[in-house]
Amino acid sequence: MFHVILVAPEIPPNTGNVIRLCANAGARLHLVEPLGFDLSAAQLRRAGMDYVDLAMVTVHADWAACRAMLKAEGAGRLFALTIKGTRPYARSGVSNATSPDFSPDDAFVFGSESSGLPANVLADIAPENRLRLPMMPSNRCLNLSNTVAIVVYEAWRQNGFAGGA
């Protein structure tokens, strides 16, 4: 099962959408505090809390606690999704061998909507595992929940949509 980690998410509907996505893709969601909202907030509920019973969500006090749990549970490689990434998240063609082949126990780490990943989190992730999504030059980054969806579904696709119907 993939792990999706949101570090200090700020916008309730984004997190709600990611909860719904993780429930539907069979991924486990880790939320690293501080959170920019209350998990019981009405905005979050409208965006995906109706899926909270179907999702596996864990809240961690900080990055160190999240890392410790991932290690204890035998999670695989950590991949950071960042505009500072040097590798594409997916192949653009059969000749592009620079993007990773994802394994079912890999973990994908995403930063907050306003500031991305903190330096201490990025430092824990190997440079070759810092991935980026292609975008048009001079544009701001994609919405957090859209980015999570793109990456999780690519990883799941690479693994034959295991467990899906």
Q: Give the count of alpha carbons within 13 A of 36, CB side only.
A: 17
How far apart are the C-alpha atoms of 138 and 105, rounded to whole Å?
A: 34
Q: Give the model's pLDDT for residue 91.
A: 67
Query: What are the residue ranges spanned by the domains of the chain?
Result: 3-159
CATH topology of domain 3-159: Alpha/beta knot (3.40.1280)
Mean pLDDT of the chain: 88
Q: pLDDT tens-digit profile of 90-141?
A: 766 554 556 789 999 999 999 999 999 999 999 999 999 999 888 888 887 8
111 is in an annotated binding site: yes
**Whole-angstrom distance, CA of residue 123 vs CA of residue 111:** 13
> Alpha-carbon Rg of the chain, whole angstroms?
15
* CA distances, 32 to each of 29, 55, 63, 80, 162 (Å): 10, 16, 6, 14, 27
For residue 21, the cross-strand partners are none
Is 112 within 8 Å of 147 (Cβ atoms)? no
Residue 133 is labelled as binding a ligand: yes
Residues 85-107: b if buried by 16+ CB within 10 A, e if exposed: beeebbeeeeeeeeebebebebb
Tell me the per-residue pLDDT of 41-100, one tens digit each, with 9 for 90 and over. 666 666 556 676 788 999 999 999 999 999 999 999 999 998 888 787 876 655 455 678
